[in-house]
């Protein structure tokens, strides 16, 4: 059931979990089997399935909009230490891990090609992207160290938008025309401030991530449930099928699905224009406008594997399912904003309650905005605007 706000935005029932009903029945069975085997939230398994499919597709697959949209997804799983995310992620990643082992025997200038990396140093990421132009997955059980890595923020912003990366080394120069790196990792809720509270939300980095934050649950008792090898084999076949799609594969959008996508995009635009929307929410909604087509493309590819006769396209079922998933991610993103504000309340820096200009001045005062162009890009403004505020 849908209702409408006074500002004419559509209100859908808020999902209590990341839905799976839009996926093939066998894939749903696999997700449930992994969740029951490792006694973890279904949300974590579903998010991992999206990330692995996104990485497998890589630069080979794009969604045909007025711009070519990639399938690159960045996701963070939020739960306390011991929350049960490590083993299910390993299980879902198993097909890519197998490819990583296979590729260890292949080389690029005598250096191995990687499909998965867990090293968050700038050099490791750039080298891995240089050797695998199709794309890769950065996956760490605890990914907070990524946000502490010196010099990485500008590169991450470029990777997300697939902007060229140019690096001069002592003996050579590296140019990566279209970097592609999906990200999946866990963060403990108490580290949200550490990762996203030092300018990494206003600059647009934080909202680029889709947050998966299940409601608190009691720790489960031991279960005798075991992983089903047939379902695990099915998932392996799905991943290998996606990984072997030819370069230049295009996901079409049905006209009706395009109208549904346009309505969703415009709903977010109205929210961004609302005087009741905070600065932090505004940036979040702007990135959801980008991530919706990326996720819909991933869902379309997953559906195509099981039903190739339907063609590789985003239809009404696909886009509506993707929208419902985005409703979940939006709710989790707002929980992250609430957490940031609670942590920052004592310091006097609250994302929700200060004007943009004052926020920029305060961030510069505390952390010194060294790259005004990247910061302006993250906010969706021009660099001279940032310079004027800082220098006045």
Q: Is the pLDDT of residue 115 over 90?
A: yes
Q: Count CB-CB contacts under 10 A for residue 276.
A: 9
pLDDT at residue 310, rounded to an integer: 82
pLDDT at 315 over 80: yes
pLDDT at 7 over 90: no
**In-domain check, residue 141:** yes
What pairing do the DSSP bridges indicate for beta strands 116-117 and 111-112? Answer: unpaired
Return the pLDDT at 386: 78
Q: Is residue 154 within 8 Å of residue 371, measured between CB atoms? A: yes
Number of structural domains the chain divides into = 1
List pLDDT tens digits, range 142-177: 998 888 877 788 889 889 999 998 887 767 788 899
Domain, as residue range, for 122: 16-353
- List pLDDT tens digits, range 28-74: 999 999 999 999 999 999 999 999 999 999 999 999 888 889 999 99
Residue 365 within any structural domain of the chain: no
Query: Is 227 inside a domain boundary?
Result: yes
The band of 1, judged by pLDDT with boundaries at 50, 70 and 90, is very low
Segment 241-267 mean pLDDT: 96
Per-chain mean pLDDT for the chain: 87
End-to-end CA distance of the chain: 50
pLDDT band at 312 (very low <50, low <70, confident <90, very high): very high
In angstroms, the CA 322 to CA 171 distance is: 46
* pTM of this structure: 0.85
Q: Whole-angstrom Cα distance, residue 96 to residue 54?
A: 11
pLDDT for res 8: 47
Residue 321 lies in a domain: yes
Residue 253 lies in a domain: yes
Is 254 inside a domain boundary? yes
In a domain, 343, yes or no: yes
Determine the pLDDT at residue 52: 98
Q: Residue 106's CB: how many other CB atoms inside 10 A?
A: 9
Residue 354 has pLDDT above 70, yes or no: no
User: How large is the average pLDDT for residues 190-208?
Assistant: 88
Mean pLDDT of 363-377: 74
Would you say residue 342 lies in a domain?
Answer: yes
CATH number, residue 287: 3.40.50
């Amino acid at each position: 059931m849908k209702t409408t706000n006074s500002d004419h935005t559509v209100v859908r029932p808020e999902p209590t979990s990341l839905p799976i009903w839009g996926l093939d029945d066998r894939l749903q069975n696999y997700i449930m089997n992994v969740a029951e085997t490792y006694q973890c939230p279904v949300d974590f398994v579903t998010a991992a399935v999206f990330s692995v499919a996104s990485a497998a597709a890589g630069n080979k697959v794009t969604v045909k909009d007025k711009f070519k949209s990639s399938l690159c997804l960045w996701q963070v799983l939020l739960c306390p230490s011991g929350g049960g995310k490590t083993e299910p992620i390993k299980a879902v990643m198993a097909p890519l891990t197998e490819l990583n082992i296979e590729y260890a025997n292949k080389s690029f200038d005598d250096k191995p090609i990687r499909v998965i990396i867990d090293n968050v140093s700038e050099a490791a990421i750039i080298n891995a992207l240089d050797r695998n132009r199709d794309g890769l997955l950065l996956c760490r059980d605890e990914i907070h160290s990524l946000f502490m890595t010196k010099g990485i923020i500008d590169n991450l912003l470029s990777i997300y938008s697939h902007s060229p990366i140019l690096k001069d080394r002592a003996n050579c120069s590296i140019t990566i025309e279209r970097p592609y790196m999906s990200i999946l990792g866990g963060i403990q809720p108490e580290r949200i401030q550490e990762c996203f509270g030092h300018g990494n939300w206003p600059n647009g980095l934080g909202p680029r991530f889709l947050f998966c934050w299940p409601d608190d649950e009691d720790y489960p008792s031991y279960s005798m449930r075991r992983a089903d090898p047939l379902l695990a084999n099915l998932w392996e076949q799905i991943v290998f099928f996606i990984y072997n799609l030819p370069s230049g594969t295009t996901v079409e959008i049905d006209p009706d699905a395009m109208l549904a996508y346009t309505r969703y995009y415009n709903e977010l635009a109205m929210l961004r224009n609302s005087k009741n929307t905070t600065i932090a929410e505004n940036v979040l909604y702007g990135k959801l406008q980008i991530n919706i087509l990326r996720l819909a493309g991933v869902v379309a590819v997953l559906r195509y594997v099981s039903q190739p006769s339907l063609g590789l396209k985003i239809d009404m079922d696909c886009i509506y399912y993707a929208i419902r998933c985005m409703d979940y991610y939006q709710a989790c993103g707002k929980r992250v904003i609430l957490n940031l504000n609670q942590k920052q309340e004592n310091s006097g820096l609250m994302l929700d309650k200060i004007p943009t200009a004052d926020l920029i001045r305060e961030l510069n005062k505390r952390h010194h905005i060294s790259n005004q162009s990247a910061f302006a890009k993250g906010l969706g403004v021009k660099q001279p605007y940032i310079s004027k505020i800082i220098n006045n």
